[in-house]
Structure 1
Amino acid sequence: MKNVPTLDIRRFDTDRDAFVAELGAAYREFGFCCISGHGIAHERIEHAYDVFQRFFALPEDVKMKYHVPGTGGARGYTPFKVETAKDSQYPDLKEFWHIGREIDPDSKFADTMAPNLWPAEVPDFKQHGYALYEALDQLGARVLRALALHIDLPETYFEDKIDQGNSILRPIHYPPIEGGDVPNVRAGAHEDINFITLLVGASAAGLEVFTREGEWLPITTTGDAIVVNIGDMLQRLTNHVYPSTTHRVVNPPGADARKPRYSVPFFLHPNPDVVLDPVPQCVSADNPSRYDTSITSHEYLQQRLREIRLI
């Protein structure tokens, strides 16, 4: 069976052409790649997981203080069984928190990017949560530089399109499965909305990607590797050269189903005013443009949040 490769991003500096070719091939094939050598300290990730787990352990009424109805969960807390994968009958078995970019109140994006909420009950939540946000934001920008080169765009093509991106760090808690039959996998089969997603570790197995051959392929990482996958916005911008691949989180068998699962994806979004038209480098006689209307990333996001029942 084929496996999603793990590539050391330090090779982007030491063996650039080969790294870019291998990275591009991985994304064209799977829409996924595992990235090692990223330099994000293990302690930074551990500290973040610690504050996130402490928050999820709080009583329900305390957590609900940070739930803001009508905002699509853009910031703060979203309780269990709210988000539902597109076309799925059942809501996902998870609760989560959203950390967004800290922006100036007078930013032109202030009307679309709300201020962050920080739980007073976990005093170091902001320190460790936002440190991980910034580290993954920087790593995502490096991955996008390599992806740009692979499709003959300038290395810096994405920089002014993501510097004020509406990116989200989402700590997720999947509770232990209790009782008899469970109707849903923990997170239903879906594609991500954004440019790229960076997934830092998962405390239990379960992530699977749907291959071109129509099979579910488990993704497991070793060492410091972070899973990075293509989202729908980048698929659209690259005219499907980089595919946004369906993936899911399944319930583990046996005793492992009785354990909680935590994961922390970082959804790297473009700036809200970026127009998601396919770039000319990805349009050809063999791959004609698949889109005849323009849409901004903010308009696209709102459309998709309605589909997954967050707004």
Structure 2
Amino acid sequence: MTSPIAAVSLTDPIEDLADKLGESFGEYGFAVVQDHGIDQDLIAKAEELSRAFFALPEDVKRSYFIQGGGGARGYTPFKTEVAKGYDKKDLKEFWHIGRTLPEGDPLSGYMAPNVWPDEVDGFRETFETLYAEFEKAGAKILSALAVHLGLAPDWFNATVEKGNSVMRLLHYPPIENADGAVRAAPHGDINTITLLLGAEEAGLELLSKQGEWIPVQPPKGALAVNIGDMLSRLTNDKLRSTIHQVRNPEGERAKHSRYSMPFFLHFRPDFLIETLPSCIDDEHPDQYPDSLTAHDFLAIRLKEIGLM
């Protein structure tokens, strides 16, 4: 079965990207992005170090859990996060890396300093480099989306400068006594756009407008990219934040771990999310008349998913 989700190359002309991405994000909220510019050797190194961290003893990992930190930095233990509207906690553990701000930066009150595990050599250098590369790829995608929305190609630059973006290292352990829980229950992402590495293995699915679950399974090394709730709100749902899940594997695959690395690209904390006038008309009245900052939106949602 051929996937209906658009597959694009970031080397394509921006007009082509704008059309293909805009159409796919409008219908499905997802697209597959190849030739994204992130070095494959860097990706391989990051995957190796992620596995090394999650293989550490439980007490060592938990020493990097920050009480009251909302999961923003460091380690979040297995079965902590819960999807909005669900009571069973997801079958996953993860590590968060955020932006490193210079000392005294005015936005430092919104972004906690990073923590780094001493037990994994090269961890900080590798993931700070990967964070920067994710940002570059994300900027190209946002530029194409700006063109699709009839905005200047650089319109999003100021909105995400020093954005509260987070890179998540994810580990879904082998399935044991799931008791009705799943690796990631159906949910929408909070942020602007998500760039995901490591979705080659079956399990990631999006919910279509028709109520059907559609597999999202990009080629190895490619990105699965989806719209987050903040951008959906900004565009009056012209670009859709789609419900998606990671279902539990069956048979032999249930005995194996799954690893992935999503980059949650965020607006800057003080960016005011108010519906773009170009996305409002008689057929599409403003669904979000109340504006709010990206920081306030994030705080509301973190409470809903059990991280605050």
TM bin, normalised by shorter chain, reads: over 0.9
Taking the aligned partners of 1:76 and 1:154, their CA distance within structure 2 comes to 37
Answer yes or no: is the 8 Å Cα contact 2:200–2:217 preserved in 1.
no
Structure 1: gaps spanning 5 or more residues = none
Taking the aligned partners of 2:11 and 2:292, their CA distance within structure 1 comes to 35
Answer yes or no: is the 8 Å Cα contact 1:51–1:129 preserved in 2.
no
1:193-246 CA deviation, whole Å, 9 max, x = no partner?
000000012363210000111100111111432000000000011111001000
1:287-310 CA deviation, whole Å, 9 max, x = no partner?
111122121000000000000010
Answer yes or no: is the 8 Å Cα contact 2:200–2:218 preserved in 1.
no
Give the one of 247, 258, 262 matched to 1:261.
Answer: 258
Equivalent AA in structure 2 for residue 73 of structure 1: G
Taking the aligned partners of 2:210 and 2:18, their CA distance within structure 1 comes to 25
Aligned to 1:201: 198
Equivalent AA in structure 1 for residue 157 of structure 2: E
Structure 2: gaps spanning 5 or more residues = none
Taking the aligned partners of 1:224 and 1:50, their CA distance within structure 2 comes to 14
Aligned to 1:139: 137
Q: Offset at 1:105? A: 2.0
1:267-294 CA deviation, whole Å, 9 max, x = no partner?
0000000011011111111111112212
Taking the aligned partners of 1:253 and 1:153, their CA distance within structure 2 comes to 45
Aligned to 2:68: 70
1:103-136 CA deviation, whole Å, 9 max, x = no partner?
1121111111011000001121111111111111
Aligned to 2:105: 107
Task: Name the SS for the 2:108 alignment partner.
Answer: coil
Equivalent AA in structure 1 for residue 284 of structure 2: N
1:119-166 CA deviation, whole Å, 9 max, x = no partner?
001121111111111111110011000001001011111101111000
Task: Name the SS for the 1:109 alignment partner.
Answer: helix
Change (3 A) 1:53 1:203: farther
Answer yes or no: is the 8 Å Cα contact 1:235–1:242 preserved in 2.
yes
- Comparing 300-309 with 37-46, greater Cα deviation is found at 37-46
Change (3 A) 1:203 1:282: closer
Taking the aligned partners of 2:104 and 2:278, their CA distance within structure 1 comes to 36
Q: Offset at 1:18? A: 2.5
Taking the aligned partners of 2:133 and 2:70, their CA distance within structure 1 comes to 25
Equivalent residue runs for 1:174-253 within 5 Å: 174-179=172-177, 182-202=179-199, 204-253=201-250
1:45-69 CA deviation, whole Å, 9 max, x = no partner?
1100111111111111111111001
Aligned to 1:295: 292
Equivalent AA in structure 2 for residue 39 of structure 1: G
TM-score (norm 1): 0.96
Aligned to 1:97: 95
**Percent identical:** 45
Aligned to 1:6: 7
Equivalent AA in structure 1 for residue 221 of structure 2: D
Answer yes or no: is the 8 Å Cα contact 1:6–1:225 preserved in 2.
no
Task: Name the SS for the 1:66 alignment partner.
Answer: coil
**How many aligned residue pairs are there?**
307
